[in-house]
C-alpha cells in the first residue's frame, strides 16, 4: 500500500473497528520484539538476554513503535540503549510522550540526542550487537536532515547489523528511492501491510529481508486491501 492508503487504513481501524492508535503501537512493539528475538537467535547466534541493543528513535510514531519495542527487549533481559531525537519546540506527540514515560519506568538508558551530545553516540554504540532503526516512518517526506541525518550516518558507519521498523529511514515508502542518506537494513519489519516502495526492484538491496508483521488490523480490513 502507499503511505496515503496506510494512513487511511489506520484511521479506518480506529473509526470503524474501534482499535486505537495506542493499541496498534503496543501490538507493533510486541511483534517487532518477537521478530528481533528470532533474528538475534538465527543470525547473531545469541539469546536476547546476552545482547546489547541500541534503538534509534525519531519524534513521531515510528519512534513510538521503537520505544514500545525497547520495553519488551528490556523486560526480556536485553541491555537496551535508546537514542531519541530531542523534541522540537512543539514537543513530542502524545503517544511518544506516553511510551517515553513507560520506557523510563523500566529503567531503560535513554539519551535525548541533539547536536550537543551527538558525538557521544558513536562511542556509546561501539559495544552494541544490533541497531534498531525507528527514526523515520511513512510520514517522513524528502531528504533526512539535521540530527536524523547524522544518526543515520553514525548507524551505517558502525557496520552493526541493522533492523528497520516499518521502512528503512530515508527510503521513500512509495517509490523505494532515496536521496543518498538512508539506513541500509539487514531486515525490514514492515507493519500491517507491505509498503509500495519496499516492493520496488531497486529497493531490494537496501531493505535486506522483508517481513510483514501482523499488528492486529481486522482480517476484513486486510482482506479488502490485498
Q: 142 pLDDT exceeds 90?
A: no
Q: Residue 170 has which C-alpha cell?
A: 530515508
CATH tag, 3-223 = 3.40.50.10260
- At 131, phi and psi to the nearest 5? -120, 130
Q: For residue 57, what pLDDT is reported?
A: 98
What mean pLDDT comes out for the span 37-47? 96
What pLDDT digit, counting tens, does each position of 65-94 carry? 999 999 999 999 999 999 999 999 989 999
| Percentage above 70 pLDDT, the chain | 100
Look-up of cell digits 550516518: 153
Please give the Cα distance from 198 to 163 (Å, whole number): 14
Q: For residue 36, what pLDDT is reported?
A: 98
What pLDDT digit, counting tens, does each position of 148-181 carry? 999 999 999 999 999 999 999 999 999 999 999 9
Q: Predicted confidence band at 141 (pLDDT cuts at 50, 70, 90)?
A: confident
Q: Residue 93 has which C-alpha cell?
A: 506527540
What pLDDT digit, counting tens, does each position of 52-66 carry? 999 999 999 999 999
**Cβ–Cβ < 8 Å for 16, 224:** no
Q: Predicted confidence band at 226 (pLDDT cuts at 50, 70, 90)?
A: confident
Where do the structural domains in the chain lie, given as residue ranges?
3-223
Q: 197 pLDDT exceeds 80?
A: yes
Q: For residue 72, what pLDDT is reported?
A: 98
> Where are the strands (E) in 46-137, listed by range?
52-57, 79-85, 109-113, 130-134
What mean pLDDT comes out for the span 10-14? 95
Q: For residue 224, what pLDDT is reported?
A: 87
Q: Predicted confidence band at 216 (pLDDT cuts at 50, 70, 90)?
A: very high
Q: 1 pLDDT exceeds 80?
A: yes
| Cα angle value 67/170/53 (rounded, 5°) | 35
What pLDDT digit, counting tens, does each position of 90-136 carry? 899 999 999 999 999 999 999 999 999 999 999 999 999 999 999 99
132: β partners: 55, 163
**Helices (H) then strands (E): counts for the chain:** 8, 7
**Cβ–Cβ < 8 Å for 103, 70:** yes
Distance of CA 70 to the CA centre of its chain: 10
Report helix, strand and coil shares of the chain as percent, to nearest 5: 45, 15, 40
Amino acid at each position: 500500500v502507499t503511505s496515503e492508503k496506510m494512513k487511511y487504513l489506520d484511521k479506518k481501524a480506529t473509526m470503524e473497528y474501534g482499535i486505537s492508535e495506542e493499541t496498534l503501537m503496543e501490538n507493533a512493539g510486541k511483534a517487532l520484539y518477537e521478530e528481533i528475538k528470532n533474528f538475534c537467535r538465527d543470525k547473531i547466534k545469541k539469546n536476547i538476554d546476552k545482547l546489547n541493543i541500541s534503538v534509534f528513535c525519531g519524534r513521531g510514531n515510528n519512534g513510538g513503535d521503537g520505544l514500545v519495542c525497547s520495553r519488551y527487549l528490556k523486560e526480556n533481559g536485553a541491555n537496551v540503549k535508546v537514542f531519541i531525537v530531542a523534541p522540537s519546540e512543539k514537543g513530542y506527540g502524545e503517544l511518544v510522550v506516553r511510551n517515553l514515560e513507560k520506557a523510563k519506568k523500566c529503567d531503560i538508558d535513554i539519551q535525548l540526542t541533539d547536536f550537543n551530545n551527538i558525538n557521544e553516540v558513536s562511542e556509546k554504540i561501539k559495544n552494541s550487537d544490533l541497531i534498531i532503526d525507528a527514526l523515520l516512518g511513512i510520514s517522513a517526506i524528502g531528504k533526512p536532515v539535521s540530527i536524523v541525518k547524522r544518526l543515520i550516518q553514525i548507524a551505517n558507519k558502525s557496520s552493526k547489523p541493522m533492523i528497520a521498523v516499518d521502512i528503512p529511514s530515508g527510503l521513500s515508502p512509495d517509490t523505494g528511492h532515496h536521496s543518498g542518506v538512508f539506513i541500509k537494513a539487514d531486515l525490514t519489519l514492515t507493519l500491517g501491510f507491505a509498503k509500495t516502495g519496499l516492493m520496488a526492484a531497486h529497493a531490494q538491496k537496501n531493505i535486506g529481508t522483508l517481513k510483514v508483521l501482523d499488528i492486529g488490523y481486522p482480517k476484513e480490513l486486510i482482506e479488502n486491501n490485498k
